Amino acid sequence: MRGYDRAQVDELLGRIAGALNGGPPVTADEVRAVRFDIVLRGYEQRAVDELVQECVRELQTAAPIGQRPGRPRVHPGWLINWIQDSRFSGAGMRAGYDVRDVDAFLDRVVSGLRGAAPPVTARDVRECVFRAVRLGPGYDEQEVDRFLAQLAGALERR
């Protein structure tokens, strides 16, 4: 029956949404410092706390590079060289990712970094799927998956 004051919560969420959409800035520290009154028929406290934590993470991600906690910026030129210099082991007798699929995807990432094609996001990297081959040229799946996880993290820090 008792929970956070609905008007206070709605006001904060409105400010956060505005900041994420180009409005007046709100910092993650400001959001962390907010305290809500406990009232009858308020919002469930735990649900609001979880939502506010998610908003803090979103604000940190959207913050200018210098204000993001613990994540140095990755220069696109370095990232292009790193991708082009990557080499993967063959799958041997096991199933592996189709070499053509992996190479084409990484070429698309590089083209996006150079501005010659639409940019590839970290989400695109995490959601990419490659055909598996048993006979023919294939890359070691675990090796490629580890590389893609690192690539997604680097794209987030661009």
Averaged pLDDT, 132-153: 89
CB-based contact 113:119 (threshold 8 Å): yes
Q: Is the pLDDT of residue 94 over 90?
A: no
Q: So what's the pLDDT on residue 65?
A: 47
Backbone angles phi, psi at 77, to 5 degrees: -65, -40
CB-based contact 122:38 (threshold 8 Å): no
Q: So what's the pLDDT on residue 91?
A: 79
Q: So what's the pLDDT on residue 156?
A: 81
CB-based contact 102:69 (threshold 8 Å): no
Averaged pLDDT, 16-45: 89
Q: Is the pLDDT of residue 72 over 70?
A: no
